[in-house]
Every structure is written in structure tokens, then in C-alpha cells.
A and B are shown apart, each in its own frame.
Chain A
Amino acid sequence: MIQMKLNGLDVQVEEGWTVLETCRFYGIEIPTLCYKEHLSPYGACRLCTVEIGEGDSTKLVSSCTYPVSDGLVVRTHTNRVQRARKMLIELHVALCPTSKVIQDLASRMGVTQVRFEPKYEDCVLCGLCVRMCKEQMDGKAIGFVDRGRNRRITSPFDIKSEECRLCGGCIWICPACQTRCHGPNPESVLCNACLMTETTCLDVYDDMQCWMGGKGECGMCVREDTVVKE
């Protein structure tokens, strides 16, 4: 068993777990996009960012890929983390505003504006389909090609792959393939968040210390007022 500190609490963790698995085990919600159980973690979307370390030497890491170790100090909802996550989801929305998964994440995180020109891409390069095909379907029919801004997912030589059995696993898992509804208001980059059912609980805390207990149980806190400004 490994001893570590999670949001101010001493917790025990199985060896070989990642920080994200630990957080899920202890009931702390961390937004993820490119992470799926039973697929190897990849760390492409960076939304699961958490802050590790203490004092001045803290840094942000992606919790899905970071292994736990003895004495590790993890904080999941600090101001720095929340700001980074909001910016990341804003980038995601601007990249692919038509995805329901991304829009849901954005509204859950309270994103109210998108300051970048929308690109309306079909793919956010989260790599879920590549891992699904390789690890669950044993297909290895698709993969990444090129780098930087030219990076894309395709089959070898851009022709139909002989490995592909048309199982549809890639489409099933794709977050961009689930399109969003537009709601009653005129079309906009950011959806109208009509499906947001989350409580408006305090979403910034250095260590999870709400005296009412679990997150959002009391329903007393209002998001706009309680966001701690730096």
C-alpha cells in the first residue's frame, strides 16, 4: 500500500494505480475526454490535469498517466488547475463545437465564453479510436500520421486498411461523432447548457474542505459568487 495525500487527506493507494484511478476510487470527480477505462491512458486532452507537489515547487500533470508514489501530494481542484482546465476546454470547444461530449464538459465547468475562432474540425485527435481499434478490437487499422498542425488519424497510406473489419468501434467511442443539439437559442459556438444538472457548488478549493461534507450536497453555494478570484 502507498501512502499519499489527496486534497489534504491522507489516503492509501494500491501500487500501480494512476492518480486519476485514485481520485475516482475516493469519489473525486475529474473531467476527462481522452480517458476510458479498459483503454491504456494516453494523456492527449490534458483535461484531467491535477496539481502535484507542495509549496513553491508544484506542477501540473495529467492524472490519467501519472503513477502514484509514496508521499505524493495531489490537489485536484486548485485555482491553477481550474483555470488551466477551463482554458483547455475552451480550446476544445473552439476546435470542435459540434461535439456533445465537449459541450457537456464545457457547461459542467462553467465555460461562458469562447474567445477563439471556431474551427469546426471533425476530429480532436484524442486518440480514443486508435486505442480502441488496437487494444479492444485487435485491429490496428488506424493510427496517427504527421506531426504538429498536420497531425491526423488515418489508415496506412490513406487507403482502406485490410486490417479493418468495419466493426465500428472507432465510431462508437468517438467523442466528436456524438453531435450536440442546438437548443432553442440561435446557433452559437457554445451550446446553451440546457442539460446542465450539476449543482452550483463551489468549484475552486485548494484542499477539499467544504464543511458541509461532500460536493454540492447542501446546494447553498452559488457558482458565480463563490469562485475564488486570485
Chain B
Amino acid sequence: MSKRTRWLLEAKGCIDMATAKRAPTKKASKSYRTHVRVCVGTGCVSNGALDIKKALEKEVKKQKLDKKVLVVTTSCHGFCERGPMVHVQPDDIFYQKLKVKDIPHLVQEHFLNGRPVKKFMYKPPKSKEALPKMSDIEFFKHQQLIVLRNRGRIDPEQIDEYIAYDGYTALAKTLTTMKPKDVIEEIKASGLRGRGGAGFPTGMKWELCRNATGDVKYIVCNADEGDPGAFMDRSVLESDPHSVLEGMLIGAYAIGASEGFIYVRHEYPLALECINKAIRQASSYGLLGKNILDSGFSFKMHVVQGGGAFVCGEESALLGSIMGRRPEPVQRPPYPVEKGLWGKPTSINNVETWANVPPIISNGAKWFSSIGTKTSKGTKIFALVGKVKNTGLIEVPMGTTLRQIIFDIGGGIMDDKDFKAVQTGGPSGGCIPKKLLDLPVDYEQLTAAGSMMGSGGMIVMDDATCMVDVAKYFLNFLVEESCGKCMSCREGTQRMLEIVTRITEGQGREGDIELLEELAETVRDTSMCGLGQTAANPVLSTLRYFRKEYDLHIKYKRCPAKVCKSMINFYIVPERCTGCQRCVEACPVGAIVGPRSEPHNLDVTKCIRCRACYEICKFNAIEDVVVDAIRIISGVGVEEESEA
């Protein structure tokens, strides 16, 4: 960094780079012995993190520790399932699932007496020993943070803290020492590919946009993340909005764009607030607006709120939405890099792609391309959800196997059930079965396995999941969220849903599988945009790996996972039933009758298969084996035949 930019950054009120690396702020590092970092990501806030923070502050004050212990808020740690969580530095102690009533005990023991409290610490699934340090926890240990480098470390609403951790130095480097062409070459050399799902090389996109003819050029940040169970973009925007801004500024300089748009869906109020605040702060620091860092480069940023349509994540629909038109995908070519917003060259990149840019510029393309696989470089954020012990947001190098992600980081399957499949890439992704667990995750491998990278949702399913039912769930989503322009996508998904619903209701016919396949291929081949072209994936990939399950549903009217209501019956095992009457109370339709202390009777004709009795009936028999007195049967008499 040149002397001039250093002076500028310092003069703007940012603190000295040399000393700032060690602690968030100079003042804080001198005055307080302990920093208590309360996570205030969306997950933790909905679990009551703000109350925890208040309680902590109150208690710290009560114990007269307010000169020694500082309670600060930080961005999302990613381990959202364990919220609300608190991270104590410099001891690196990690507390999870805290409640307001625990706080006085915690403050007294840890901050006053210096004894970290074991009972609030994370216990790994296999051992019963509490792990005090955050860096020892499996969930965090295997991750490599590039995009999420500032998570849990800074307060996302303080630009000073971002700058203290070398924020905006990449921008300063770009503006003072690099030509736009150099930036593009650097990004090209790094091998960064679009993180929105398709994986188009980012450097190439920028170059095309730079070389396109047009007096005005735009850049767009796609933060319209609509996949069920995915929250990567939200978390990046909430935990480190400035890194997105910095990435966009560097990109705009490289492309020659003068205006940028961030398209955030309106279901993300906190992300919107964070990014708006970040823009205000950056503007007041002169990092946005006219003549940035005295380089002559000017840039204007706008935030656009989406209206809630999933299809707006598709680039041409998104552009339509920004321009105030009906968000419908349009034919490409011409691509947005040639004719985008208002007919001008426009480069659209995902939140995660933009956030990858500053580290690449700071650390060099060589460093970045050393991470990952041959074709996919760097790291990828995944939202690991579903039937896995540790759910949350993870960032791993490309090429990490699914087994490492699910069993090492995720800690394995909930209740120690069997792993069945993992659904990647959102609703239009596919299900990957157990035999492909050692698949290294990158763009090509996932596509070859019939799924896709998508934006990075990862839904883990156990053996109590019916794959036909999964296909139905995603089709239901797509039927609602298809824009409806292409006949193939609109009608095709509806018809696929019709057939799959028929199969799950026990009305499946001979030939349904073939029809489904033919239809799915047509939908994939003939739809205009990415949504339609991948809308058949849930069906195609479940058919590819779980065809037998479809067969069982159609031929034997049997659901092996015992999920499809029309194919299951509940049955009380007389020898096991103690007549405790719990199920009698739980049954909403009064299908179970029987006197106390005698085996109950279940009237199958009245039963609505709500599972209430099955869930409530659990008692320990001899030798610690959990036995259910209520069993679910599917396809009586065909079990042996079909299993063979």
C-alpha cells in the first residue's frame, strides 16, 4: 500500500494497520482483559441472543467487571443449531445453547472466579467430554475460511473493525498499483468461478464485460437466495457486508462500471439493514462515491429489494426485476455481459463470488489457485442442514469429500441412523446416494453425479426419508416458483408432480416411471432458463439412484421408508403394549381405545396416520434397547419378495 492510501485510511479515522491486527480496536485491547463475543446472526437472534447479551451486560455490571470484561456483538459463527452462542477471547472458550437464567452462574464462575463452565460447552456426539476451545471442535476444525474470514471476529456494523482486519487494503492496492487489465488477469489466473451455481469463470465474465461496447456499464450482486434450507448469501451479507462491497468495487474498477446494484430478497431484513448500513459507512469514509481514495475512480451503489420470487435468482429475470419489468427470463444470447441492464453491458455475480475477490487481490492468484481441485479453485460455503448432528454454515476447500463434510464436520447422522442421501444444489439439484459418499465436491463431479453445485445448499437425509416423497417436495416448490413462461417448465413440473403424487398415494401405474423420465428429459431440454433446465433434476436423480423405491411404490404399494401415508398402517404390538394410555390421549381422532394396563386396540379405519401415537410411545425395555410398541407396516406380505 502506498503512503498516500495509508494516510488516507488513517486520516479517515481508521486505526493504525500495524497494531490493529491483533485486536479489534486499540482502545479495547488496552482496557479489557476479556472479550465476550455474542453471536447475533439471524439464527442466534431468533434463539434469543439479544436477551443473552443484555443479561450478560447486566450481570457483568453487577459483578463490577464492566471495566475488565467487554460484551460485544459479532456476526454469525455458522454453528446456528447451537445458538445462542458466546465466544470468549483470548481464552477461545466456546459456550453454546445458553439461556438467560444461566448467565449469572456463567459470569460468576468464568469471569469472576476464572473457571470456565463445562456444562455450557459443546460436547461432541461420540464422547461425553466437553470441549472448551472453539478451535478443537470438529465443526470448526476442518473448515478453511476465506469468504467467511471475518465471521465471529468483527462486528459487521462497524467499518472500523473490518478495516482493522486489513479490510479495504485490497481495494487500495487495486486502485493505486493495478491497471484494470491486471485485475482481470489476476482473477483469471486465480481460477475463481461463479459461486451462484453455474460455475462460469469470473475473470472471463469480467473480461467479456470490459470488452463489450457501451458507454455505461453496470455490475450486479445477486443476493436473491431462495433455495429451501440455504443461507450462505444471507450469512455473508450479515457477517461481512464490507467484503462484498470491496469485491464489487474492485470488480467495477476492473470492468469499468460506474454503478452497481445489490439485489437482496426482502425476506432478509437483517441482511438488508447490514448492507445499507455498510454502504452508508463506506460512503462517509470516501470508499464509495466520487473519486475513491483520490484515484479518480467513482462508483455508485444501489440496493434493490426483491419481491419474493425464486426465479429472480436467474440472472435475466433478476435484471428484469431491477428494471421494473416482469421478472421473466429472456433468451440468451445476447448475454448480460453484452446487453444487460437497460441494454448496457452488465456483469452479474453472486455474493460469495464478490466476497472472494478481496482475498485474491490481497494474497495473490497463486495462493488462491493452490486451494481446491484442478478445475474448481478456492473454497465453497455450504449450508449443511437436514438430519445431521451439527447443522450450520461451513466453508471448505473444493474437493473435500461428502463423507468429510457430513461425518467429520457434520458429526454424522442424527440419532445414529443410516445415511441415505444428500441433496445438493437447492430444489433443482439432485440427490447423491450413499455409494458416492467419497465424491470430492467440485463443479464437475457434482454435475457428473446428476446433481449440481447450485448456491451450496446441502440437505442430509437419513434412512427414514422416502425419496419419492423428496422428489414430490421439491417439485411442489418448483411448481409454485417456476415463472410460468415456458410451457415445458410450467406444465412439465405440474405433470411431474401429478405423477409423483399419484405414486405416493398408491395410485401409481405401470409405465409411470418411463413417462416421468421422458417428461423430465423434455423439461430439461426445452426450457429456456436455468430454473427450467434443472427443474427435472429432483426427479431424474432420484430415479437414477433410487429407482427401486419408485418400483416398490408402484408395484407393491410399499414405501420402504414408511413415509407415504396411503401405504402405511399402524399396528400395536400386544406383547409390548403396557396399556399406559399415552397414545390414547395423543390420538386426535380417537382411533385408539383400550382400558388402562391392557393392550390397546387401534382402529385402522379411523386412523389418519398422523404419527402422534408412534412418536409418543417409547419406553425402555430390558437391556437398554428402545422398543416401540407401535409399529408401522407398509405393504403387508410383500416384504420378503420385494427385498429380494
Contact = CB atoms under 8 A, between A and B. Distances in A.
Interface of A: 42-46, 49, 59-62, 65-67, 69, 80, 83-84, 87-88, 91-92, 94-95, 115-117, 124-127, 143-144, 146-151
Contacts of B490: 125, 148-149, 151
A69 B331 CA distance: 14
Given A49-B526, A60-B525, A147-B309, A44 B491 contact: no
B481 A147 contact: yes
B369 interface: no
B251 to A, nearest CB: 27
Contacts of A94: 491, 495
B92 interface: no
Interface in B476-512: 478-488, 490-492, 494-495, 498, 511
26 contacts: A46-B488, A59-B525, A60-B526, A62-B331, A65-B331, A67-B331, A69-B333, A88-B487, A88-B526, A91-B488, A91-B492, A92-B491, A94-B495, A124-B487, A125-B484, A125-B487, A146-B484, A147-B309, A147-B480, A147-B482, A147-B483, A148-B482, A148-B484, A149-B484, A150-B484, A151-B490
B39 interface: no
Nearest to B511: A115
A100 B431 CA distance: 42
B498 A67 contact: no
Interface string B25-66: 000000000000000000000000000000000000000000
Contacts of B526: 46, 49, 60, 62, 84, 88
Given A66-B331, A67-B333, A88-B522, 7 more contacts: A65-B528, A67-B334, A91-B495, A92-B491, A95-B491, A147-B482, A147-B484
Interface range on chain B (Cβ under 8 Å from partner):
20 to 34
Contacts of A149: 479-480, 482, 484, 490, 494
Contact of B525 (A45, A84, A146): A84
Contacts of A69: 333
B311 interface: yes
B449 interface: no
Nearest to B311: A147
A109 B75 CA distance: 59
Which 4 A/B pairs are nearest by Cβ-Cβ distance?
A: A151-B484, A65-B331, A87-B522, A60-B525
Interface of B: 309, 311, 326, 330-331, 333-334, 478-488, 490-492, 494-495, 498, 511, 515, 518-519, 521-522, 525-528
Nearest to B328: A144
Nearest to B519: A87
A124 B484 CA distance: 11
A192 to B, nearest CB: 23
A143 B492 CA distance: 23
Contacts of A151: 483-484, 490
B334 A62 contact: no
Contacts of B515: 115
Nearest to B502: A117
Nearest to B484: A151
A51 B120 CA distance: 61
Contacts of A125: 484, 487, 490
Nearest to A41: B331
A65 B331 CA distance: 6
A127 B483 CA distance: 13
Given A62-B331, A65-B331, A66-B331, A45 B494 contact: no
Contacts of B326: 143-144
Contacts of B333: 67, 69
A104 to B, nearest CB: 17
Contacts of B480: 147-150
Contact of B527 (A42, A46, A115, A127): A46
Given A62-B528, A84-B522, A148-B480, A44 B486 contact: yes
A88 B522 CA distance: 8
A43 B488 CA distance: 11
Contacts of A91: 487-488, 491-492, 495
A46 B526 CA distance: 7
A44 B529 CA distance: 12
A151 B480 CA distance: 10
A106 B448 CA distance: 35
A147 B521 CA distance: 22
A46 B519 contact: no
Contacts of A61: 331
A44 B483 CA distance: 11
A62 B332 CA distance: 11
Contacts of A80: 525
A116 B485 contact: no
Nearest to A151: B484
Contacts of B311: 147
Nearest to A116: B495
A117 to B, nearest CB: 7
